[in-house]
Protein backbone atom coordinates (compact mmCIF):
# COMPACT_ATOMS: atom_id res chain seq x y z
CA UNK A 1 0.00 0.00 0.00
CA UNK A 2 1.44 3.36 -1.02
CA UNK A 3 1.10 6.85 0.40
CA UNK A 4 -1.30 9.52 -0.83
CA UNK A 5 -0.26 13.16 -0.98
CA UNK A 6 -2.52 16.03 -2.01
CA UNK A 7 -1.45 19.12 -3.92
CA UNK A 8 -2.22 22.30 -2.01
CA UNK A 9 -1.38 25.98 -2.40
CA UNK A 10 -0.43 28.17 0.56
CA UNK A 11 0.90 31.68 0.98
CA UNK A 12 2.50 30.78 4.33
CA UNK A 13 4.61 27.82 5.52
CA UNK A 14 2.66 24.64 6.27
CA UNK A 15 2.71 23.06 9.74
CA UNK A 16 0.91 19.71 9.72
CA UNK A 17 1.05 16.54 11.87
CA UNK A 18 3.05 13.74 10.25
CA UNK A 19 1.57 10.22 10.58
CA UNK A 20 4.64 8.69 8.94
CA UNK A 21 8.37 9.19 8.81
CA UNK A 22 8.44 8.94 5.02
CA UNK A 23 7.70 12.12 3.09
CA UNK A 24 8.55 13.30 -0.44
CA UNK A 25 11.59 15.41 -1.26
CA UNK A 26 13.77 13.55 1.24
CA UNK A 27 11.99 14.84 4.39
CA UNK A 28 12.24 12.43 7.31
CA UNK A 29 10.09 13.51 10.27
CA UNK A 30 9.27 11.28 13.26
CA UNK A 31 5.75 9.83 13.09
CA UNK A 32 3.27 12.14 14.81
CA UNK A 33 5.66 15.09 14.66
CA UNK A 34 5.23 18.43 12.91
CA UNK A 35 6.15 18.72 9.24
CA UNK A 36 7.47 22.21 8.43
CA UNK A 37 7.14 22.61 4.65
CA UNK A 38 8.34 26.13 3.92
CA UNK A 39 7.08 26.39 0.36
CA UNK A 40 4.05 27.98 -1.26
CA UNK A 41 3.03 24.81 -3.09
CA UNK A 42 3.54 21.35 -1.65
CA UNK A 43 2.34 17.76 -1.43
CA UNK A 44 0.80 16.98 1.97
CA UNK A 45 0.69 13.40 3.22
CA UNK A 46 -2.80 11.89 3.50
CA UNK A 47 -2.21 8.17 4.14
CA UNK A 48 -2.41 4.84 2.23
CA UNK A 49 -3.86 4.67 -1.28
CA UNK A 50 -4.54 2.78 -4.48
CA UNK A 51 -4.21 3.98 -8.07
CA UNK A 52 -6.98 3.43 -10.62
CA UNK A 53 -5.82 4.05 -14.20
CA UNK A 54 -8.13 4.48 -17.20
CA UNK A 55 -6.61 4.08 -20.66
CA UNK A 56 -7.46 6.20 -23.69
CA UNK A 57 -6.26 8.97 -25.96
CA UNK A 58 -6.51 12.67 -25.07
CA UNK A 59 -8.63 15.17 -26.98
CA UNK A 60 -12.20 15.55 -28.21
CA UNK A 61 -11.36 13.68 -31.43
CA UNK A 62 -10.97 10.43 -29.49
CA UNK A 63 -13.37 11.01 -26.59
CA UNK A 64 -16.08 8.59 -27.78
CA UNK A 65 -13.77 5.97 -29.31
CA UNK A 66 -13.97 2.35 -28.16
CA UNK A 67 -10.29 2.68 -27.18
CA UNK A 68 -11.30 5.36 -24.64
CA UNK A 69 -13.66 3.25 -22.57
CA UNK A 70 -11.11 3.30 -19.73
CA UNK A 71 -11.31 7.11 -19.58
CA UNK A 72 -15.11 6.84 -19.58
CA UNK A 73 -15.08 4.44 -16.61
CA UNK A 74 -12.96 6.79 -14.49
CA UNK A 75 -15.09 9.79 -15.44
CA UNK A 76 -18.18 7.93 -14.21
CA UNK A 77 -16.51 6.93 -10.92
CA UNK A 78 -15.23 10.48 -10.31
CA UNK A 79 -18.66 12.02 -10.97
CA UNK A 80 -20.71 9.54 -8.95
CA UNK A 81 -18.40 9.38 -5.92
CA UNK A 82 -17.57 13.05 -5.44
CA UNK A 83 -13.90 13.01 -6.41
CA UNK A 84 -11.85 16.21 -6.66
CA UNK A 85 -11.69 18.13 -9.96
CA UNK A 86 -9.24 16.73 -12.51
CA UNK A 87 -5.75 18.27 -12.30
CA UNK A 88 -2.70 18.04 -14.56
CA UNK A 89 -0.05 15.75 -13.03
CA UNK A 90 2.20 12.89 -14.06
CA UNK A 91 1.71 13.57 -17.80
CA UNK A 92 -2.00 13.01 -17.30
CA UNK A 93 -5.12 14.06 -15.41
CA UNK A 94 -5.52 13.12 -11.74
CA UNK A 95 -8.48 13.21 -9.35
CA UNK A 96 -8.55 11.92 -5.78
CA UNK A 97 -11.21 10.82 -3.36
CA UNK A 98 -12.42 7.89 -1.29
CA UNK A 99 -14.25 4.68 -2.10
CA UNK A 100 -15.52 3.22 1.13
CA UNK A 101 -12.61 3.57 3.51
CA UNK A 102 -9.98 3.46 0.75
CA UNK A 103 -8.17 6.53 -0.55
CA UNK A 104 -8.03 6.37 -4.35
CA UNK A 105 -6.18 8.39 -6.98
CA UNK A 106 -7.67 8.26 -10.49
CA UNK A 107 -5.25 8.73 -13.39
CA UNK A 108 -5.98 9.30 -17.09
CA UNK A 109 -2.63 9.33 -18.93
CA UNK A 110 -2.42 12.01 -21.64
CA UNK A 111 0.66 10.55 -23.32
CA UNK A 112 -1.51 8.81 -25.94
CA UNK A 113 -2.22 5.12 -25.59
CA UNK A 114 1.12 3.75 -26.75
CA UNK A 115 3.04 5.64 -24.03
CA UNK A 116 0.60 5.19 -21.15
CA UNK A 117 3.28 3.52 -19.03
CA UNK A 118 5.26 6.75 -18.76
CA UNK A 119 2.44 8.41 -16.85
CA UNK A 120 1.56 5.36 -14.75
CA UNK A 121 5.20 4.74 -13.82
CA UNK A 122 5.72 8.36 -12.79
CA UNK A 123 2.64 8.36 -10.54
CA UNK A 124 3.47 4.97 -9.03
CA UNK A 125 7.02 5.97 -8.15
CA UNK A 126 5.97 9.30 -6.67
CA UNK A 127 3.36 7.72 -4.41
CA UNK A 128 5.77 4.88 -3.50
CA UNK A 129 3.27 2.29 -4.70
CA UNK A 130 3.73 -1.35 -5.56
CA UNK A 131 2.45 -2.47 -8.95
CA UNK A 132 -0.17 -4.53 -7.08
CA UNK A 133 -1.70 -1.23 -5.87
CA UNK A 134 -2.51 -0.34 -9.50
CA UNK A 135 -5.74 -1.27 -11.33
CA UNK A 136 -6.03 -0.50 -15.05
CA UNK A 137 -9.37 -0.12 -16.88
CA UNK A 138 -9.07 -0.82 -20.62
CA UNK A 139 -10.92 -1.91 -23.76
CA UNK A 140 -10.84 -5.62 -24.56
CA UNK A 141 -11.55 -6.84 -28.10
CA UNK A 142 -11.47 -10.50 -27.04
CA UNK A 143 -14.63 -10.02 -24.97
CA UNK A 144 -18.10 -9.47 -26.41
CA UNK A 145 -19.62 -6.02 -25.94
CA UNK A 146 -20.91 -5.47 -22.37
CA UNK A 147 -18.87 -8.40 -21.00
CA UNK A 148 -16.41 -7.58 -18.21
CA UNK A 149 -13.66 -9.56 -16.52
CA UNK A 150 -11.20 -8.82 -13.70
CA UNK A 151 -7.66 -10.10 -14.18
CA UNK A 152 -4.64 -10.03 -11.85
CA UNK A 153 -1.32 -9.83 -13.68
CA UNK A 154 -0.52 -11.68 -16.89
CA UNK A 155 0.42 -10.68 -20.43
CA UNK A 156 -0.64 -7.66 -22.44
CA UNK A 157 -2.26 -9.66 -25.30
CA UNK A 158 -1.06 -7.12 -27.86
CA UNK A 159 -2.81 -4.14 -26.27
CA UNK A 160 -0.46 -1.21 -26.82
CA UNK A 161 -1.43 0.61 -23.64
CA UNK A 162 -0.82 -2.47 -21.50
CA UNK A 163 2.42 -3.18 -23.33
CA UNK A 164 3.70 0.27 -22.38
CA UNK A 165 2.65 -0.21 -18.75
CA UNK A 166 4.46 -3.57 -18.68
CA UNK A 167 7.63 -1.80 -19.79
CA UNK A 168 7.45 0.74 -16.95
CA UNK A 169 6.04 -1.12 -13.94
CA UNK A 170 6.04 -4.80 -14.89
CA UNK A 171 3.08 -7.19 -15.36
CA UNK A 172 1.91 -7.51 -11.75
CA UNK A 173 -1.03 -5.10 -11.74
CA UNK A 174 -4.78 -5.68 -11.90
CA UNK A 175 -6.86 -5.11 -15.02
CA UNK A 176 -10.54 -4.47 -15.62
CA UNK A 177 -11.11 -5.90 -19.09
CA UNK A 178 -14.08 -4.12 -20.66
CA UNK A 179 -15.44 -5.94 -23.69
CA UNK A 180 -15.98 -3.92 -26.88
CA UNK A 181 -16.17 -6.81 -29.35
CA UNK A 182 -13.94 -7.80 -32.26
CA UNK A 183 -14.29 -6.59 -35.87
CA UNK A 184 -13.62 -10.11 -37.16
CA UNK A 185 -10.29 -9.53 -38.90
CA UNK A 186 -6.97 -8.75 -37.22
CA UNK A 187 -6.08 -6.04 -39.73
CA UNK A 188 -9.36 -4.24 -38.98
CA UNK A 189 -8.67 -3.89 -35.24
CA UNK A 190 -6.86 -0.48 -35.25
CA UNK A 191 -9.63 1.22 -37.20
CA UNK A 192 -12.30 -0.48 -35.12
CA UNK A 193 -11.04 0.62 -31.69
CA UNK A 194 -10.34 4.15 -32.95
CA UNK A 195 -13.93 4.63 -34.11
CA UNK A 196 -16.75 5.93 -31.94
CA UNK A 197 -19.22 3.56 -30.35
CA UNK A 198 -22.27 3.12 -32.55
CA UNK A 199 -25.56 4.66 -31.43
CA UNK A 200 -26.95 1.14 -31.05
CA UNK A 201 -24.28 0.45 -28.40
CA UNK A 202 -25.17 3.42 -26.20
CA UNK A 203 -27.51 1.48 -23.90
CA UNK A 204 -25.18 -1.35 -22.93
CA UNK A 205 -22.23 1.06 -22.67
CA UNK A 206 -24.09 3.26 -20.21
CA UNK A 207 -25.18 0.19 -18.22
CA UNK A 208 -21.60 -1.09 -18.01
CA UNK A 209 -20.19 2.27 -16.87
CA UNK A 210 -22.91 2.67 -14.24
CA UNK A 211 -22.29 -0.88 -13.05
CA UNK A 212 -18.57 -0.18 -12.68
CA UNK A 213 -19.38 2.89 -10.60
CA UNK A 214 -21.90 0.91 -8.51
CA UNK A 215 -19.23 -1.66 -7.68
CA UNK A 216 -16.27 0.71 -7.33
CA UNK A 217 -16.28 0.53 -3.53
CA UNK A 218 -16.12 -3.27 -3.61
CA UNK A 219 -13.31 -3.12 -6.16
CA UNK A 220 -11.34 -0.70 -3.97
CA UNK A 221 -11.82 -3.05 -1.00
CA UNK A 222 -10.46 -5.96 -3.04
CA UNK A 223 -13.75 -7.83 -3.52
CA UNK A 224 -13.73 -8.47 -7.27
CA UNK A 225 -16.66 -10.90 -7.02
CA UNK A 226 -19.05 -8.31 -5.63
CA UNK A 227 -17.69 -5.76 -8.08
CA UNK A 228 -18.57 -8.02 -11.01
CA UNK A 229 -22.00 -8.72 -9.51
CA UNK A 230 -22.69 -4.98 -9.42
CA UNK A 231 -21.85 -4.74 -13.11
CA UNK A 232 -24.00 -7.78 -13.93
CA UNK A 233 -27.00 -6.22 -12.20
CA UNK A 234 -26.76 -3.26 -14.59
CA UNK A 235 -25.95 -5.09 -17.81
CA UNK A 236 -28.85 -7.13 -19.17
CA UNK A 237 -27.60 -10.63 -20.10
CA UNK A 238 -28.10 -11.73 -23.72
CA UNK A 239 -31.15 -13.95 -24.31
CA UNK A 240 -30.19 -17.61 -24.26
CA UNK A 241 -31.08 -19.85 -27.19
CA UNK A 242 -32.54 -22.22 -24.58
CA UNK A 243 -34.89 -19.64 -23.17
CA UNK A 244 -38.50 -20.80 -22.98
CA UNK A 245 -40.45 -18.93 -25.64
CA UNK A 246 -43.29 -16.76 -24.49
CA UNK A 247 -46.65 -18.62 -24.70
CA UNK A 248 -48.67 -17.73 -27.73
CA UNK A 249 -51.79 -15.70 -27.03
CA UNK A 250 -54.98 -17.80 -27.11
CA UNK A 251 -56.77 -17.93 -30.43
CA UNK A 252 -59.82 -15.68 -30.57
CA UNK A 253 -63.07 -17.48 -29.81
CA UNK A 254 -65.07 -18.38 -32.89
CA UNK A 255 -68.79 -17.80 -33.15
CA UNK A 256 -70.96 -20.80 -32.60
CA UNK A 257 -71.76 -22.69 -35.79
CA UNK A 258 -74.97 -21.68 -37.56
CA UNK A 259 -77.76 -24.31 -37.22
CA UNK A 260 -78.04 -26.62 -40.19
CA UNK A 261 -81.05 -26.03 -42.45
CA UNK A 262 -84.01 -28.36 -42.03
CA UNK A 263 -84.03 -31.50 -44.16
CA UNK A 264 -85.93 -31.11 -47.49
CA UNK A 265 -88.81 -33.65 -47.29
CA UNK A 266 -90.24 -32.95 -50.73
CA UNK A 267 -90.55 -35.77 -53.28
CA UNK A 268 -88.56 -35.58 -56.53
CA UNK A 269 -91.74 -34.90 -58.48
CA UNK A 270 -92.67 -32.06 -56.13
CA UNK A 271 -89.15 -30.56 -56.43
CA UNK A 272 -89.43 -30.67 -60.27
CA UNK A 273 -92.86 -29.04 -60.21
CA UNK A 274 -91.68 -26.31 -57.85
CA UNK A 275 -88.76 -25.60 -60.18
CA UNK A 276 -91.08 -24.60 -63.05
CA UNK A 277 -93.48 -22.52 -61.08
Give the up-direction half-sphere exposure of residue 27: CA atoms within 13 A in the CB hemisphere: 19
What's the CA gap between 206 and 165, in Å, rounded? 27
Angle at CA 66, nearest 5°, toward 62 and 69? 90
Number of Cβ within 10 Å of residue 27's Cβ equals: 13
Q: Is 193 helix (H, G, I), strand (E, B) or coil?
A: helix
Q: Which residues are catalytic?
A: 67
CB atoms within 10 A of CB 121: 21
Sequence-ordered strand ranges (E) for 119-216: 134-140, 148-152, 174-179
Gap between the terminal Cα atoms of the chain: 114
Contact 134, 116 (CB under 8 A): no
Helices 224-234 and 202-214: crossing angle in degrees, nearest 10, is 150
Amino acid sequence: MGALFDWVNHDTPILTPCPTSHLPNGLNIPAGGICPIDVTTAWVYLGGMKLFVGLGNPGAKYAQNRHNIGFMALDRIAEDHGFSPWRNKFQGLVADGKLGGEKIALLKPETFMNNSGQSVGEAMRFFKLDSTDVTVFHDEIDLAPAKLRVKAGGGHAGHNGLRSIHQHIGPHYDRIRMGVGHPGRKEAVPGYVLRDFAKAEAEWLDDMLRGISDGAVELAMGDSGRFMNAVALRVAPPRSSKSTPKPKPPAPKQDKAVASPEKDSRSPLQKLADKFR
